[in-house]
Amino acid sequence: MSQSRTALVTGATAGIGAAFARHLAKAGYDLTIVARDEARLAETAERLAGEHGVAVKPVTADLVTDDGRAGVQELLRAGQIDLLVNNAGMSLNTPFLRSTTEGEERLLALNVHAVMALTLAALPGMVERRAGAVVNVSSVAGFGAGMPGSTYPASKAWVTNFSESVGLSVRPFGVRVMALCPGYVRTEFHDRAGINTSGTPDWLWLDADAVVADGMADLRKGKYVSVPTWKYKLAAFGLKHLPRPLIQRVARDTRGRIGRNDPQV
């Protein structure tokens, strides 16, 4: 009997992380799901196991902290994980000039340090087995400075470039690393950060399950960077290739329309 495929998903109780957990459970993966809310995590694990007949292990951890990251790193080193999904992330509803060192360090700890640490914990075993994959959830925002005053795009620029660089280095060993870069996705993410999205047109919003399905299809195709839907592929192209003064002007105009509750301001 062949061994079940296994996956570890961070931030697995809401949004894109929950969509990954659903997608992978439906595909027959045994799961380790990581989040901070112990009660919600246990409920999610029970539901996924009941609906899909897979083993689901809930792990309560705050990846902002050294101890939280260390515990999940140890799980990755000790177990045979076929797929790691680094989904957990945060934004700050505070422009940089009104931010604090503590707040910015929390953002970097989750968006950057946790991604680096967990990827590094998972990859040696994958390389040794000549199989495995890592998906790092980034953002189309990382392709340019389109959110004046917000350091979130800078953190996601790191995730995308890190994923592509590391992906190139491990591909000869049969291992894949990919950055998934969606745009606006209907999740709890913006509400948790206190970000006002009332000015965001409906047509810009994406469905989390569709984002995950597109991302997994791109992973199977061997892509290093996945940008779901044509509209965000176009946005990513523009952020990378249009003249910088034009991008900066559009960003300033957008800030004025969205209002002062947005982290861009």
Q: Does the pTM exceed 0.75? A: yes
Give the pLDDT of residue 190.
47
Q: Token pair 């047109």 is at which residue?
A: 201
Hey, what domains does the chain have and what are their CATH numbers? Answer: 6-258 (3.40.50.720)
Q: Is 29 a catalytic residue?
A: no
Q: What is the pLDDT of residues 110-164, one digit of tens each?
A: 999 999 999 999 999 999 999 999 999 999 989 887 666 789 999 999 999 999 9
Per the prediction, the chain carries an average pLDDT of: 86
* Residue among 130, 118, 132, 127 at smallest CA distance from 162: 118
N-term to C-term CA, the chain: 57
Sheet strand arrangement including 83-86? 56-60, 30-35, 6-10, 83-86, 132-137, 175-180, 225-226
- Taking only the tens place, the pLDDT of each residue in 55-75 is 999 999 999 999 999 999 999
How many angstroms separate the CA atoms of 1 and 7, rounded? 19
